Structure 1
């Protein structure tokens, strides 16, 4: 079974993270200077590299040459924490969506006091951190505030406002953002070249638009197109040029995961102050008026 593109080409160093230079450059500078904080908060939209960056951070911290912004990729720690590596006993990744209760937090707190088995630091990566309950955060509060020297917390979340304020105030907060189209296109072209596939230039803007600025979602769309493409690769089947936004063929056949365009029928609705339609009408293509 072939790996999905977003897994196959997951970044292994901060230099490979695309479109997040406002985060990766300060982190690389801090690692080079040896200024390591005990807790980090990575926030931002889904699929923009928060969890991957947390794993890279753990890899950079525990490299035999580290802490370093550029892991060697050869030592046991680097090999274990590689994108498809087996993992390290000293790096624990917790999905708070299913383990965010107070009992899970207490178990994590008890494990945190043990020294690392073979690495420099014990790193706890808490994904979907906004799903941790208030009681769970309170159970972690003391150890996040005053952790042992060998312990580092990395919280990753799409909703930083839901992270307990007392926890958030004790972290270094790095907000991630959606990847701009130019950087996304470079990523897709690099991955397509590595796959040995052929993709027409007109296809890239459609895939990037369907992905909505998320590297994971955009690569998933491209992966789906490559899987269903013929021996000649992915080609645009639009009868109109990419600049012709009014073409019916462009709107209904060539836009991945985007509903077909229609003229909003609500423009012709009579304005009434006391009556309202029981349900919003649909256009001839079947999409709701909100499209």
Structure 2
């Protein structure tokens, strides 16, 4: 089964993250200067690179040559934390939509004190962080305020206002944004070229509009069009029919 486009072209370094330079440039500068925060808050609309950037941050922190803005890609940590890598025992991803309760937070807190098994830092990535309950946040509060040196939290959320203010105030907050149409179009054209599929030029504005500035949503739409493409590639007529838009 072929991987979805948004997974196949998931960025592996901050330099590959498209349309979020206002976030990635300061992060890269901080990493290269060794100014590591113990807690980050990545907020913004869905599909604009928050979780991918959290994984890249973990990769940058734990690279053998790190902390560095340019992970080497060759060491065991970089290979494990690559977009399609097997993962690393010291980098824990938690989906708060299903694990946001007080018991989950307490378990996370208890695990946080253990030193990393094989990395420089233990990184806890908490996705959909606004779904953590108030009791859950309260259970985490002490360790976010005074974490051990080896621990880094990354909270990713579409609704930063719902993150407990006392937690929010302890983080470095980086707001992600929807991508401008021109940036999305460039991304689509480069990916379609890499895939070797012909796409009629009028198709791109349709896909850009359908994706609404979300990189992931845009690539999902393009994926659907590529899957239904005939030998002539993706035609404007086929795109109109599939996307249900009027000429």
Per the TM superposition, whether the score is higher than 0.5 is: yes
Whether 2:205 is the aligned partner of 1:205: answer yes
Measure the CA separation in 2 of the matches of 1:258 and 1:115: 53
User: 1:206 touches 1:256 (CA, 8 Å); kept in 2?
Assistant: no
Alignment CA distance shift 1:255-1:27 (3 Å) = farther
Whether 2:25 is the aligned partner of 1:25: answer yes
Structure number with bigger Rg:
1
User: 1:63 touches 1:71 (CA, 8 Å); kept in 2?
Assistant: yes
Gaps of 5+ in 1: 239-252, 262-291
User: 1:210 touches 1:256 (CA, 8 Å); kept in 2?
Assistant: no
Root-mean-square deviation (CA, aligned residues, Å) is 1.3
1:254 corresponds to: 240
Counterpart mapping for 1:263-278 below 5 A: none
1:12 corresponds to: 12
User: 1:41 touches 1:168 (CA, 8 Å); kept in 2?
Assistant: yes
Gaps of 5+ in 2: none
Count, aligned residues: 247
Compute the displacement of 1:260 (Å).
Answer: 5.4
Alignment CA distance shift 1:69-1:255 (3 Å) = farther
Compute the displacement of 1:237 (Å).
Answer: 2.1
Measure the CA separation in 1 of the matches of 2:70 and 2:242: 37
2:107 corresponds to: 107
Alignment CA distance shift 1:167-1:256 (3 Å) = farther
Spell out, residue by residue over 1:99-133, the C-alpha distance to the aligned partner (whole angstroms, 9 max, x if none).
00000000000000000011000000000000000
1:144 corresponds to: 144
2:184 corresponds to: 184
Measure the CA separation in 1 of the matches of 2:112 and 2:162: 24
TM-score by length of 1: 0.83
2:220 corresponds to: 220
Measure the CA separation in 2 of the matches of 1:27 and 1:257: 37
1:230 corresponds to: 230
Measure the CA separation in 1 of the matches of 2:112 and 2:241: 49
Greater helix fraction, Structure 1 or Structure 2 = 2
User: 1:207 touches 1:256 (CA, 8 Å); kept in 2?
Assistant: no
2:53 corresponds to: 53
Spell out, residue by residue over 1:177-236, the C-alpha distance to the aligned partner (whole angstroms, 9 max, x if none).
000011111111111111110001110000000000000000000000000010111011
Counterpart mapping for 1:80-119 below 5 A: 80-119=80-119
User: 2:225 touches 2:242 (CA, 8 Å); kept in 1?
Assistant: no
Partner of 1:117: helix, strand, or coil? coil
Alignment CA distance shift 1:126-1:182 (3 Å) = same
Runs of 4+ residues deviating >4 angstroms: 255-261
Alignment CA distance shift 1:25-1:144 (3 Å) = same
User: 2:96 touches 2:131 (CA, 8 Å); kept in 1?
Assistant: yes
1:43 corresponds to: 43
